[in-house]
Amino acid sequence: MLKSFEPIVNNESEILILGSMPGIKSLEAQEYYAHPQNRFWKIMAILCNYSDLEKKDYKVKTKTILGNKFALWDTIRSCSRKGSLDSNIQNIKPTDIKSLLKKYPNIKKICCNGAKSYSLFLKYSKDIPSYVKVIQLPSTSPANAKYSLTKLLKEWEAVLVQE
């Protein structure tokens, strides 16, 4: 059984970015989005105006996103999965997003990193406060090869750039 990480969140967080379940590289490193071909940290570098964030230490990465009012978590608390593909996920135990939102009421937007995260959120996260907007974004995973970094950035930027 694979287990996800604790959320990266603080009282200033306004946007929760939800993945589905960390891949093998991330689980081995005990870091969100640790696969070198995942474009998540490259996108966050641009959105947080922090050059080369993807090359920095994980503590710097997490401090940077928290400082820009983002939070990170997953829709899956634990599951079984062969490899890293979302399509192989089975035996899902979801995270308790409703409790996280209650504890961190400044979160007003949830952005799901990919279709699997979004579909699992819809399935398992009922009774989310009506003031929270939920959006599906294209996955930053290297498996989502149809999206160039430029195209990903354009879609993520449209949703995540704070008003």
Q: Which residues are catalytic?
A: 38
What residue type is assigned to position 147 of the chain?
A: Y
Q: Which two tokens stand for residue 68?
A: 């820009």
Partners of residue 111 on adjacent β-strands: 17, 135
Sign of CA pseudo-dihedral 109, 40, 64, 158: negative
Cα–Cα dist 11/7, whole Å: 12
